[in-house]
Structure 1
Amino acid sequence: MMANLFSSFDPMSSIAELSLNWTSTLLALLFIPYLFWAMPSRATLLWNLMIMTLHKELKILLGQANPGGTLMFISLFSFLMFNNLLGLIPYVFTSTSHLVMTLSLALPIWLASIIYGWFNQANHMFAHLVPAGTPGPLTPLMVIIETVSNTIRPGTLAVRLAANMIAGHLLLTLLGNTGPHLNSNLLSILLMAQLLLLILETAVALIQSYVFAALSTLYTSEVN
């Protein structure tokens, strides 16, 4: 019996005190379509279409002055998407459901953009603390609000992704634990409910990857 609801997501598999569950993060490299084939497969064509569509959308956020800047965020999207989808496979550790992973991705991007902005465009960063049209008496309050808003951005990115990934896994786990205690009629209903929930979790895995990459791009574009 689980000691707590989150124990099923803890990385417990180890050999010689080396955690093996985190190595599932590298499995995403095996699913990226290879480009050395003479005739591209349908998976390669679908992958290229998805990458080009994402490049066009993120380029709008970054602006025309930095057309190659989308490469990092497309790579981030691909990394998160494969890890989110791999987490839906039974007995595969979901690394993106842990704040250690999500905060490690969100914090460096946010910190790098903040450092770049304050060192290279300090006036723009100061002006960003007071939105246009703010009344004079509200200026000190808006500075505090904007400062807090900018500070909690990596935390909100990390918590949003981890919470959305862990919520569906918890629900699937809880529903699965009730299966042995149900009769055949209720068990068929439970299987249908879990199938629908699995389809929903697949959509959430894709959407959350895009949201993480898009918000990271948007936060970075604000300092340019």
Structure 2
Amino acid sequence: MNDIILSTQNGEPVASSREVAKRFGKNHRDVLRAIEDILEGVRKIAQTPKDITAQNCAVTQMFFKSEYTHPQNHQKYPMYLMNRDGFSLLAMGFTGKEAVQWKLKYISAFNAMEKQLAAQHKGQRAVQDANIQNAIDRVIEARKKLDENTAFLDECRKNREDSKAKYMQVKALCGEFKAIYGQHCDTVRTMENVVRGSQSFLTSAIDNLTIVSKGYPFYAALMDSLLDGLPAEKKEE
């Protein structure tokens, strides 16, 4: 079977050292040794700690140490996964007519999988964008409702204080004004509960936006814009 088997690592296609050894007719131990030689060569080329760090970082992004379970004895053995660059670096030393053919097949396989992953990423990004927009709309609606209810609560408190003042001024007619004052007190208590509910709804909407916007580059600026003017204690709730 000539189909190339690739998997993914860190969102990019990778080939296993076992599969590469099999396709190119090599012993897996020799392929592992060749990869280790590449890694060692990079360490020797680097002259300064800064160079070593940069070179090691570049190579570790090409080769990923892994392991596999042998189907017969069920023991674990080392292997490497490699991306396109790592494969190119390794296969550079493979020669022969069949080696060229397998190199071309691997290049074709990497191209096909990269296109597939790009299409999947585009679709996932579209879904994420839609989810983020829905979450933004929910935060905006929650913020609007909280502002409206808070403004109405402030008005109710003012009415309560006005009715209390009138009640205190005309104690002879205290029955009528006491009833009005009591109604305003009840309204204030009701609206305080409504505002607390609105605050909880806004907090839930913010939490949801935080989840769906994970990794979104402009999240902090977006949140500041949505919550501009909101008291600090409410932003943190």
Q: What TM-score do the two structures reach when normalised by structure 1?
A: 0.31
Structure richer in strand, relative to its length: 2
Q: What TM-score do the two structures reach when normalised by structure 2?
A: 0.30
